[in-house]
Structure 1
Amino acid sequence: MISQVFILTSKGDHLIYKDFRGEAGVDAISAFYESVTALSGDQPPVVMTHKGMHFIHVRQGGLYWVASTKTNASPFTIIEFLNRLTALTKDYCGTLSEKSVRANFALIYELLDEMVDYGYIQTTSTDILKNFIQTEAESSKPFSLFDLSNVGLFGAETQQDKVAPSAAASRPIMANRGEQGGKNEIFVDVIERLAMVIGSNGIIMKADIEGEIRVKCYLPNCSEMRIGLNEELSIGKSQLRGYGSAVRVDECSFHQAVKLDEFDTYRIIKVCPSQGEQTVMQYQVCDDLPCAPPFRLFPSVERDSGNRLLMYLKLRCDLPPKSAAINVSITVPVPKGSVSLSQELSSPDQRAELQPKSKAVLWEIPRFPGGSQLAALFKLEVPGLSSASLLEVGPVSMCFELPKHTCTGLQIRFLRLTPTQPGLSQRWVRYVTHSDSYTIRV
């Protein structure tokens, strides 16, 4: 039975921390590292006990892959599990290194969620896991001018290019496209950027969405591709179309190579994709949000009897239960006289720190499931704290990514290639929403 799994760098920095049973705290990480680095010569896979916890580890890719247990479990079983975890990580990420683990931490957390349930190993089979893992791996290969998979619309890799999780229900583990030549694959990415201002009373004051549809083509030949959008898509303030859930955008524009002869009637765009990347459609929604805001914040700020500022933040994720936000960070400006921070977080995979230069508290959440709620209590030492100092708190700004989600509801109905491609051709549709600016007034 496994209590914790964590991955450390050779310097002791923790990259991944997953607590399955709540039997020990984060201090187990430092206890393990101090113990393993105190050993001379070859390090055995099983090291000393700390507060009744046994640590079992393997070292691969310059990283410590560690599992802790409080029971009298078989160390060989856990060592085999860790070896399978490293093999799966290498299969998905391409390489085992600190850089690839940092870039794919959301994918590794998803792997651990499927492999282990409350400390009991469920499966390490690649064939079974590939039906459940939906996060797209982030490639760690260097930029190359000869590899068009790294080249953006204007010749540079953008932040949105780096993360575009897949919406395919079953994703096979593919080798690095640079090694395979990237043949017989085509990706259609629907990427949206959300800008929002929410007042202290919870009312939406501003909500803008900018979106685009990108095509990344790695097919040897394709004369034409037809992309079917929502049939009920409405453009501008005109009457909404169809009988289903209405999807509306204020403005849209198309690449000059796009043919629109079927767009007005059937909402189908046709394009002859070239090798590499094209943005075939751009659209915008102004001062309107078709769905509920992805996050709601319930803050409470007060002072205690001493010179401490107490800041209690309750954050709710209003995404559907099967969705999740990743790379969530919350920045809260605090009084300029703040000198130290103590914190109480609702789960161990979160972290927070006081940034001395900007005088703001940074709260980071690697993965935030939809329909859940997290809380944090921050205690700030502020010499000379006054009532005026409380006015320096806020507004709160958030950064996040929403894989498999679009705020407008824009969807791809179908992809059809002409002529039909010989052999097996993979067609992927992927959705992601990024925060452009998400501000909540306190």
Structure 2
Amino acid sequence: MGIGVSASGSVVLSEVLGTIRLKVFLSGMPELRLGLNDRVLFELTGRGTNKSVELEDVKFHQCVRLSRFDSDRTISFIPPDGDFELMSYRLHTQVKPLIWIESIIEKFSHSRVEILVKAKGQFKKQSVANGVEISVPVPGDADSPKFKTTAGSARYLPERSALLWSIKTFPGGKEHLLRARFGLPSVRAEEEEGRPPIAVRFEIPYFTVSGLQ
């Protein structure tokens, strides 16, 4: 899932880039059939017809019998052994960010900068985000980093002009804070418009936002 949020908090990009992967341990060459929920539409031409779950840029593995799919939308295939990608798709959908990020940056007489980052899980408490990585841009000449977090750990990546906040597990509904301080040895004006966005990466097992079942 890819989501872009403006500085004012508005969602400017919301799409799902999904795949269906299979791991096969079958003897012989059985034919398998995969059925999806009735709300799913496969839109191969890019033209929308209604507000159901509409998949675009659909690509199938070469084992899928496309003639069968064209006739009744059944995904019929004789799978190869082992792990493979059965299909990939793209979906435009309006969803809120699953981990909401707020940041406050304060500069003090060009001698130091302090950054406060708040991260909140906006998904159900029963789910847990794993391997959360929050990349926060910092001035290119920053040094002497100091961090304090309520969860996980943070480190400075000077080659990327960013700090990386890593949280191993992030339960839904929880909120965590990071405070960072950097020295600024040089005096220079930084253009606000040229600052890269904060980037967030994570995985939530058995969680879907696409409506695909």
Fold shared per TM-score above 0.5: yes
Quickly say closer, same or farther: Cα 1:218–1:377, change in 2 above 3 A. same
Aligned to 1:214: 21
Aligned to 1:319: 123
Aligned to 2:84: 278
- Correspondence list, 1:110-121, <5 A: none
Answer yes or no: is the 8 Å Cα contact 2:110–2:186 preserved in 1: no
Quickly say closer, same or farther: Cα 1:316–1:217, change in 2 above 3 A. same
Q: 1 CA distance for matches of 2:86 and 2:159?
A: 42
Answer yes or no: is the 8 Å Cα contact 2:131–2:168 preserved in 1: yes
Q: 2 CA distance for matches of 1:379 and 1:289?
A: 37
Answer yes or no: is the 8 Å Cα contact 1:316–1:372 preserved in 2: yes
User: 1:200, CA displacement in angstroms?
Assistant: 0.8
- Whichever structure has more strand as a proportion of its residues is 2
Structure 1 or 2, whichever has the larger Rg, is 1
Aligned to 1:238: 49
Q: 2 CA distance for matches of 1:385 and 1:315?
A: 30
Q: 1 CA distance for matches of 2:160 and 2:64?
A: 46
Which AA in structure 2 matches 1:259? R
Higher relative contact order (CA 8 A, sep 6+): 2
User: 1:352, CA displacement in angstroms?
Assistant: 0.7
Q: 1 CA distance for matches of 2:29 and 2:124?
A: 37
Aligned to 1:404: 206
Quickly say closer, same or farther: Cα 1:206–1:345, change in 2 above 3 A. same
User: 1:309, CA displacement in angstroms?
Assistant: 0.7
Q: Percent same amino acid among aligned pairs?
A: 28
Answer yes or no: is the 8 Å Cα contact 1:260–1:268 preserved in 2: no
Which AA in structure 2 matches 1:233? V
Q: Deviations over 1:323-345 (max 9, x none)?
A: 12111111122112211111221
User: 1:305, CA displacement in angstroms?
Assistant: 6.1
Which AA in structure 2 matches 1:215? L
1:373 pairs with 2:178: no
Answer yes or no: is the 8 Å Cα contact 2:106–2:113 preserved in 1: yes
Which AA in structure 2 matches 1:321? K
Q: 1 CA distance for matches of 2:110 and 2:61?
A: 62
User: 1:258, CA displacement in angstroms?
Assistant: 2.0
Q: 2 CA distance for matches of 1:307 and 1:355?
A: 20
Q: 2 CA distance for matches of 1:332 and 1:256?
A: 41
Q: 2 CA distance for matches of 1:341 and 1:360?
A: 11
Quickly say closer, same or farther: Cα 1:290–1:222, change in 2 above 3 A. farther
Answer yes or no: is the 8 Å Cα contact 2:14–2:94 preserved in 1: no
* TM norm structure 1: 0.43
Which AA in structure 2 matches 1:202? G
Answer yes or no: is the 8 Å Cα contact 1:311–1:377 preserved in 2: yes
| SS of residue matched to 1:361 | strand
Q: Deviations over 1:108-144 (max 9, x none)?
A: xxxxxxxxxxxxxxxxxxxxxxxxxxxxxxxxxxxxx
* TM norm structure 2: 0.84
Give RMSD over aligned pairs.
2.5
Aligned to 2:35: 228
1:382 pairs with 2:184: yes
Structure 2: gaps spanning 5 or more residues: none
Q: 1 CA distance for matches of 2:153 and 2:128?
A: 18
- Whichever structure has more helix as a proportion of its residues is 1
1:258 pairs with 2:60: no
Quickly say closer, same or farther: Cα 1:408–1:275, change in 2 above 3 A. same
User: 1:390, CA displacement in angstroms?
Assistant: 7.1
User: 1:231, CA displacement in angstroms?
Assistant: 1.5
| SS of residue matched to 1:357 | helix
Q: 2 CA distance for matches of 1:255 and 1:231?
A: 22
Quickly say closer, same or farther: Cα 1:385–1:327, change in 2 above 3 A. farther
Answer yes or no: is the 8 Å Cα contact 1:302–1:390 preserved in 2: no
Quickly say closer, same or farther: Cα 1:318–1:262, change in 2 above 3 A. farther
